[in-house]
Amino acid sequence: METTKKKNFNLRSLGVLVLVLYIVFLIGPIAGLDVPTIAASIKANPLQLIQFLIIGISNGAIIAIIALGYTMVYGIIELINFAHGDVYMIGVFTSLTVLSLTGTLNSTNPVQIVLGLAFALIIAIVVCASLNATIERLAYRRLRNAPRLAPLISAIGMSFIIENIGLMWAAQAWLVPSFGTTGGASQKVFPDMLSALFKATGFNGGDVNLLVASGLPLRLTVKDILVIVLAVALMTGLYLFVQRTQLGKAMRATAQNRDAAKMLGIDIDLVITATFLIGGGLAGAAGLMAGLYNNTAWWFMGFRAGLQAFTAAVLGGIGNITGAMLGGFLIGLLASFSDGYLNARWTNAWVFATLVLILLFRPTGLLGEQVGQKA
């Protein structure tokens, strides 16, 4: 018994080793892994490393916030909510539309810009929370006791529906004039409101880059700060909610054992609705953050963001909230360094190769735990 176990382990390690060597030496160079060049470029411009770190953390923060929605829903009902990335896309469009309708986009009054942004954040959270809860009510609730594939298919269906709503939304120039008359398929501009805000105030010489005065070839912008601060605030809030409040505890109890939770008087429907509301709200906030950070709005943007966030959730250990945060930051950093030093076209491949490698060693993810019920 003992020897076969050992033998199996050795065989597996050997397999993994072969895979790693294969990726590094055969696929690696094609996908941009050129060690001497990378070393030379780090040597020539070491500050760039910090630059990619900043970009990675900011993008990672957005991915982490989206990943929380995947992981919370999976933790409670063991469903991958494929529509979640698209809810985030609706968050981008909602905040852009609110900014447009309130006149914030053309404003040069700093107070109005700040109020407009705050209002857009609230509306995006409310809209996405309700949308996500509605999706659950329409597409998942009736299928809760159906075979696992059924809600998965309806999730994919919801994803298509919302993407098409985004496609139509992006054609409505009366809502946001900059959408233009070319239809909804193209990528739209999400105006750089933070630059506008800084120009309006004249603060920091009207530049969003806080390091501009230092003369260093580095950009640490107000956008980075805003995204990171907002993400950390949301994560802290979520953590406290789940650990301390009665409803948060009910959510954890439901995730750990649904039957026991029912027996103790927890209203499962209420808990599930709350989970979708919170996940959707976070996606809405991420929508505004990403719009301000990347300055694009596109009907299909939820697909890639969703895929990355889902990967982050799996990497951290699906069902685990801290894991999703960790996974988000890791993927953000990995993608940023791959974009910078390897080859941007191969970034997704690098991200997934890393995911596969980590799952080979830790099948439940970095902070993975056994989710689901045995009874």
Partner 1 sequence: MLELKDVHTYYGNIHALKGVSLTVNQGEIVTLIGSNGAGKSTTLRTIQGINRPRSGTILLEGVALEKLPPHEIAGRGVAQSPEGRLIFPRMTVLENLEMGAYARKNKTGFDDDLARVFSLFPRLKERITQKGGTLSGGEQQMLAMGRALMARPRILLLDEPSMGLSPLLVELIFEIIQNINKEGMTILLVEQNALMALSIANRGYVLQTGEIILSDAAAKLKENEMVRKSYLGIE
Per rule CB under 8 A, is residue 266 in the interface with partner 1?
yes
Minimal distance, residue 257 CB to partner 1, in Å = 5
Interaction of residue 257 with partner 1, rule CB under 8 A: yes
Interface residue with partner 1 among 49, 173, 240, 260 (CB under 8 A) is 260
Q: How many CB atoms lie within 10 A of CB 243?
A: 11
Least separation in angstroms between CB 142 and partner 1: 16
Our CB check for partner 1 shows the closer of 23 and 367 to be: 367
Which one of 253, 307, 359, 360 is in contact with partner 1 (CB under 8 A)? Answer: 253
Residue 265 is a binding residue for partner 1 (CB under 8 A): yes
Distance, in Å, from the CA atom of 194 to the CA atom of 110, rounded to the nearest integer, reads 10
How far is Cα of residue 227 from the mean position of the Cα atoms in its chain?
12
264 binds partner 1 (CB under 8 A): yes
Interactions with partner 1, residue window 268-307 (CB under 8 A): 268
What minimum distance in Å lies between the beta carbon of 183 and partner 1? Answer: 48
Instruction: Please identify, among the stretches 258-266, 273-281, 303-311, 355-363, the one whose residues bind partner 1 according to the rule CB under 8 A.
Output: 258-266
Which residue, 5 or 148, has its beta carbon nearer to partner 1? Answer: 148
Rg (CA), the chain: 22
The minimum distance between CB 175 and partner 1, in angstroms, equals 42
Instruction: Name the CA dihedral angle for 10, 14, 20, 24, rounded to a multiple of 10 degrees.
Output: 140
DSSP E strand stretches across the chain: 188-189, 296-297
By CB under 8 A, name the one of 12, 262, 304, 362 that touches partner 1: 262
Token code pair at residue 314: 């799996």
Residue 257 or 343: which CB sits closer to partner 1? 257
Using the minimum distance from each CB to partner 1, give the nearer residue, 208 or 261. Answer: 261
CA distance 151 to 27: 37
What values do phi and psi take at 175, rounded to 5? -85, -50
> SS3 for 188?
strand
As a whole number of angstroms, the distance between CA 148 and CA 217 comes to 52
Residue 291 and residue 95 in contact, taking contact as beta carbons nearer than 8 Å: yes
Using the rule CB under 8 A, give the single segment among 132-140, 227-235, 263-271, 334-342 that binds partner 1. Answer: 263-271
Contact status: 366 vs partner 1 (CB under 8 A): no
Query: Which amino acid makes up residue 199?
Result: K
Q: Does the protein bind partner 1 through residue 141 (CB under 8 A)?
A: no
Long-range contacts of 197-204 (CB under 8 A, 24+ apart): 197/110, 197/113, 197/114, 197/117, 197/222, 198/222, 199/108, 200/107, 200/108, 200/109, 200/110, 200/113, 201/110
Scored b (16 or more CB within 10 A) or e, 12-33 reads eeeeeeeeeeebeeeebeebbb
| Cβ nearer to partner 1, comparing 130 with 256 | 256
> Using CB under 8 A, which of the segments 122-130, 213-221, 251-259, 274-282 binds partner 1?
251-259
- State yes or no: residue 259 binds partner 1 (CB under 8 A): yes
Distance between CA atoms of 166 and 297, rounded to whole angstroms?
10
**Residue whose tokens read 């690696």:** 28
- If the CB atoms of residues 120 and 271 are measured against partner 1, the closer one turns out to be 271
- The region of 115-123, 257-265, 291-299, 354-362 touching partner 1 under the rule CB under 8 A is 257-265
122 touches partner 1 by CB under 8 A: no
Which residues are near partner 1 by CB under 8 A? Answer: 246, 249-250, 252-253, 256-257, 259-268, 369, 374-375
